[in-house]
Each structure stands twice: as C-alpha cells, then as structure tokens.
Amino acid sequence: MATIIEHLILAIIAAVIVEIVKARARKHYQSLPFLILRLARLTLPRDLRVEFYDEVWAPDLYYQLTASGQRVLVRFARSMRFSLSLLLTARSIALADTGRPTLRARMLGGYQLFPRRLRWMCWQLVAFAVVGTPLMIIVLYFPAEIFDLPTRIVGVVVVPLFVLVQARMVIRTLLRAYELSVQGRSFAFAPARPLNLWPRRRRHTSPPAREKILDSYGFIISKTDEDPPLVSEHLPENV
C-alpha cells in the first residue's frame, strides 16, 4: 500500500514538473519572436511605430503563435520567419506604405534602383553555374562506379534545374523593368522580402494623389501627376 502511495505521489510530482516545464517553454517560444519584432519596431520612425507595430504586426504575430490546427514547432517556425523578415525590412515597408518624401524622390523621374533581391539572384546564378558546370562534367564523364545514383541526380538534374529557374527569374525581372521604362512609368524596386514574407494586413495610407501598386515582380509602380505620359499617348491615331 505504501509503495502505491509513493508511486502516486511521484506521478503527481512528475506531472506538475512537466506542466511547469511546458509552461516555461511555451512562454519562451512565444516571447522570442516578440522580442525580435520589438527590435524591428525600433527601426521604424517614431510616428509610425503605433500604426505598424501595435495595430498590424503584433496582432498578426500573436495570431500566428496561437493559430489552432498547427503543431507548436510549425507555429514557432512561422512566427520566427515573420519576425526575422520584418527585422530586416520593417523600415523599408513602412516608408513604402506611407509614401515618404525620400521614397517619392526615388520613385519619380524614372529613376531605377537595382534591387538587393535581383543582385542576390544574380550571385546565386553565377555561383551555381561556376560550381554546377564542373560537377556536371565530372559526374557525366567519370566512371559510374565512382558516384552513386543520388550524386548523379544532384549533378545532372538538380543543379542545372536550379540554374535555369534562377536565370528565368532574373530575365523576367529585367524584362519587367524594361517594359516599365519603355512605358514611361516611374517605378522603384520594392524592398527585399526575405523568405517571401509580407504582412497580410497592410494598411494603405498613401496620399490620394499617388496610386502605388506592388506587382508580382517586386516593383512599386508610382503614378502621379508628375509622372511622364505613357508612350501610347504619343502614338498616332492610325497606329
């Protein structure tokens, strides 16, 4: 009888310890993304912190941390991705949304900026081409006994496929920039967005005189009264 009671007491103590550990772990895994997001808040201008952090980003992060139907690790990974991306791009996103004069000056006059995202894609393309080409030659022309099947698949299929995908993205982006330039549209490249993240509930606070569009190519297109007319407006009627 005494042994059963002792085991029961030990089980209760173990259950209490487990709950305490789980509560502490839950507190820490929820506090770390918010800590990173608060650091992102410090990069914002003072007059934009309430509008973006308090009203949009903090509620969005809380929703991601408490979303039902997802595992704890999945929620934690998504919230960390959200916070880390904003840590790098919070200021650029806020300035783009509010149409600050600095961004306006960059967007008017057809001034085109070379984006960090496009630079990164070009470096990836060069790196994979430099590394992948010798790897393909080695894998294709060396005896089959040296390399196993997974190595051959990586060298012959995966690396060339990634190079083609990156090249296609770079070419499409450059073609889009050329198209906007030919049309006479003023534009700037949108801020780089790590992990392809953008807050879902962005507030559109741009002045009504300017219509800004964030298109799928990562451009912020500005159309104002100061913009040059489109090329089509100068074409003869019979064209």
pTM of the model: 0.36
Backbone phi and psi for residue 188, each to the nearest 5 degrees, phi listed first: -140, 155
**Residue-level pLDDT at 2:** 56
**Residue-level pLDDT at 119:** 61
Please name which of 62, 51, 45 lies closest in space to residue 204, comparing C-alpha atoms.
51
**Residue-level pLDDT at 185:** 56
**Residue-level pLDDT at 56:** 80
**Residue-level pLDDT at 219:** 47
**Residue-level pLDDT at 86:** 79
CA angle 75, 77, 81 (to 5 degrees): 115
**Residue-level pLDDT at 217:** 41
Q: Locate 154 and state its tokens.
A: 């990586």
- Those residues of the chain that have pLDDT short of 50 are 100-115, 189-239
**Residue-level pLDDT at 151:** 64
